[in-house]
Amino acid sequence: MTPIVLPRGFRRLPLAERRAALADALGCELPSALCGDAETSAVADLLVENAIGTFALPVGLATGFRVDGQDLVVPLATEEASVVAAASYGARLLSEGEGGAGIRTEADPPIATVQLFVEQPHNDAEHAVRAARDEIAALVDDAVASLVRRGGGFRSLTGQRVGDVLKVEIDLDVRDAMGANKVNTAGEAVRPLLERLTGGRTLMAIVTNASRRALVRASGQVPCSRLGRGGFSGAEVAQRIVRAAAIAAADHDRAVTHNKGVLNGIAALTQATGNDTRAVEAAAHGWAASGAGYAPLTSYGMSGGLLHGRLECPLPLGTVGGAVGAHPVSRFALRILGNPNSRRLAAVGAAVGLAQNLAALRALVTEGIQQGHMRLHAERLAFDAGARGAEVREIATALADTGRMDVATARQLLRTHRVAHPNRQQQASDDRD
Ligand code: MEV
């Protein structure tokens, strides 16, 4: 098969015609899952260029969260099996601790930073920028007036040489926005003034995704007695979790995987709320790498029969603006969370990251994660073989019993199953409807 060629002027076509042209070029219908409904199609068309449809991800509800004394159900959008179940499990463990408050969190004010890099500044440029602080602040606030009306805007300014370039960093309180757009607007607005003040030329003005001023922390504890599994006592599992975290602190490659597990939950919440997963992951990895080496985002210790867990990282999440406000699913996800402000959403994200990591570590240091994955793999094979509704579990169980994990066996089992339970097929198709 050869790759398709789009007709000239494709990007100027309305969405329906773009789809028709694509179907024409492919010589086949577009999948209905791509085309979705009218509303999501319209949002897709608004959000990206050359839109042809949407890629829907499963959204699941992680349960069992108690964050700062508040019970929460957390929507997670992810294609990865077991993320929702693991987050829920970790949440239940952590939510019993801390005198009933569950996971405790603390989020810094929502500060985002724009960096401007000015080339060939004169010798006194740093001083000139600092001396013009009020003028720069006024210009910034003017550029983001709607933010200022909501209590945000300019907060601080620094200037520093990086080689022969002057780096100017301006911090803004971005309130409930994720902030990148606002600070980029502010950065571009002050460019001409900075050039006048420094005698140099601005190479670029752009948000830094490091987001180190918007840190969030989550901590929780679990009675060790609750952790026993797979022949290990609770105390042994707790010790093994502490050792696993210590290994992540000592070994770069393990730390990367450890943090990937943390981000499984955080990125899924980020996705469900329409936020920028790349910004969140860049900030988390940047933070992890900001010390002597690349470090794990969580740490664990034991005392008084309790396992204590802690997470700290930047979490640049918004609850207004961009896709967050535009997408019906992100608005709905925020509604499930009780319409939090951005700091509370970040706090929930940190709680999810900690719960996700605890559940992963507990599985890893006991029976491993493959056992759970095999069940999901069997269910996937059953689905591929045509099982639907309750049949999926039944065929998956039968498949696991045979020890032959392939779709042909699943098909065979399904045929036999349907002969033995003719009504189940009807029920499965009812489930589908
Ligand atoms: C898999 O998506 C995540 C884990 O690898 C995380 C970890 O190893 O800590 C299980």
Mean pLDDT of 173-178: 96
Q: Please state the rounded mean pLDDT for residues 149-168.
A: 96
Ligand 1: centre distance to CA 263 (Å): 9
Counting runs of H as helices and runs of E as strands, what totals does the chain give? 18, 10
The most confident of the ranges 50-54, 377-381, 393-397 is 50-54
Segment 241-254 shows an average pLDDT of 98
Q: Is 301:239 a contact under the CB 8 Å cutoff? A: no
- The predicted pLDDT at position 99 comes to 64
Query: What does the alpha-carbon distance between residue 33 and residue 41 come to, in Å, rounded to a whole number?
Result: 11
Amino acid at 234: G
Residues in a beta bridge with 168: 116, 159
Average pLDDT over residues 150-159: 97
**Contacts of range 225-234, beta carbons closer than 8 Å, 24 or more positions apart:** 225/305, 226/93, 226/96, 227/93, 227/307, 227/362, 229/362, 229/366, 229/367, 230/366, 230/367, 232/365, 232/366
Range 123-134 average pLDDT: 96
Mean pLDDT (the chain, rounded) = 94
Q: What is the pLDDT of residue 58?
A: 96
* Token pair for 98: 């801390």
The answer, yes or no, to whether any atom of ligand 1 lies below 6 A from the CB of 264, is yes
In testing the pocket of ligand 1, which one of 369, 370, 371, 376 has its CB within 8 Å of the most ligand atoms?
Answer: 369
Q: Grade residue 391 by pLDDT with cuts at 50, 70 and 90.
A: very high
Quote the pLDDT of residue 325: 82
Non-local (6+) Cβ contacts of 120 within 8 A are 164, 199, 200, 201
The mean-pLDDT minimum among 42-46, 88-92, 271-275 falls in 42-46
To the nearest 10 degrees (0 to 180), the angle between helices 38-47 and 328-336 is: 100
Q: What is the pLDDT of residue 256?
A: 98
359, containing H or E segment: helix 342-364
SS3 42: helix
* Pocket flag, ligand 1, residue 421 (CB < 6 Å): no
Has residue 8 got a pLDDT over 70?
yes
pLDDT (average), residues 304-330? 93
Q: What is the mean pLDDT of residues 75-82?
A: 95
| Any ligand 1 atom below 6 A from CB of 369 | yes
Distance CA 255, CA 253 (A): 5
Which pLDDT does position 203 carry in this prediction?
Answer: 98
Distance linking the first and last C-alpha atoms of the chain: 35
Looking at residue 374, its pLDDT comes to 81
pLDDT at 317: 97
How far does the centroid of ligand 1 lie from the alpha carbon of residue 256, in Å?
9
Q: How far is CA 21 from CA 2, 43, 47, 148, in A?
A: 17, 20, 20, 46
Q: Does the pLDDT value for residue 431 go beyond 60?
A: no
Residue 2 one-letter amino acid: T
Cα 261 to ligand 1 centroid, rounded to whole Å? 4
Residue 356 beta carbon below 6 angstroms from any ligand 1 atom: no
Please report the atom of ligand 1 found closest to the CA of residue 363.
10
Decide if pLDDT at 412 tops 90.
yes
Q: Return the pLDDT at 326.
A: 83
Residue 270 has pLDDT above 80, yes or no: yes
Band (257; pLDDT cuts 50, 70, 90):
very high
C-alpha span between 253 and 259 (Å, rounded): 10
Instruction: Please name which of 288, 266, 269 lies closest in space to residue 77, comparing C-alpha atoms.
Output: 269
pLDDT (tens digit, 9 = 90+) per residue, 417-427? 999 888 766 56
In this structure, are residues 224 and 237 in contact, taking their beta carbons and an 8 Å threshold?
Answer: yes
Mean pLDDT of 140-161: 97
The pLDDT of 58-79, averaged and rounded, is: 97
Say if residue 117's pLDDT is above 80.
Answer: yes
C-alpha distances out from residue 228 to 240, 320, 363, 423, Å = 11, 42, 11, 41
Give the tens place of pLDDT for each residue, 342-384: 999 999 999 999 999 999 999 999 989 877 778 888 888 999 9
Cα 198 from chain centre: 39
Q: Which H/E stretch holds residue 300?
A: strand 298-303
Least confident of 121-125, 133-137, 216-220, 376-380: 376-380
Tell me the average pLDDT across 329-351: 97
36: left (phi over 0), alpha (psi -120 to 50) or beta: left
The pLDDT score that the predictor gives to residue 101 is: 76
Choose from 94-103, 127-136, 384-393 the range with maximum mean pLDDT. Answer: 127-136
